[in-house]
Amino acid sequence: MRLLAITCVFLFSSVVFAKDTYVKGYVRKDGKYVEPHFRSESDGKFENNYSTKGNTNPYTGKKGTKTYEYDSSTFGDSSSDD
């Protein structure tokens, strides 16, 4: 019973203190419209993102699929030293 109470407190506190950011709809450079949505507030921790495997977006119910962190400063960089 005590473990159940502790678990409930932990789950409730993580929901109450989770910070989400509302993102307005917008049009990407490629012309695709992105629907308005919520995203987890940036805290620099890969494992805290809704899209990380093991997490579920509470607004959509969609399970995360990303399994590794990448360096966003080099993501999509097509330059080479050839």
Asked if 46 and 69 touch (Cβ cutoff 8 Å), the reply is yes
Q: How confident is the model at residue 27 (pLDDT cuts 50, 70, 90)?
A: very high
Place of tokens 């809704």: 50
Q: How many Cβ atoms sit within 10 Å of the Cβ of residue 52?
A: 18
Residue 74 confidence class, pLDDT cut points 50, 70, 90: very low
Name the percent of the chain lying above pLDDT 70: 61
CB-CB contact of 69 with 75 (8 Å): no
Given pLDDT bands bounded at 50, 70 and 90, which one contains residue 11? low
Query: Taking 60 as the threshold, does the pLDDT of residue 69 lie above it?
Result: yes
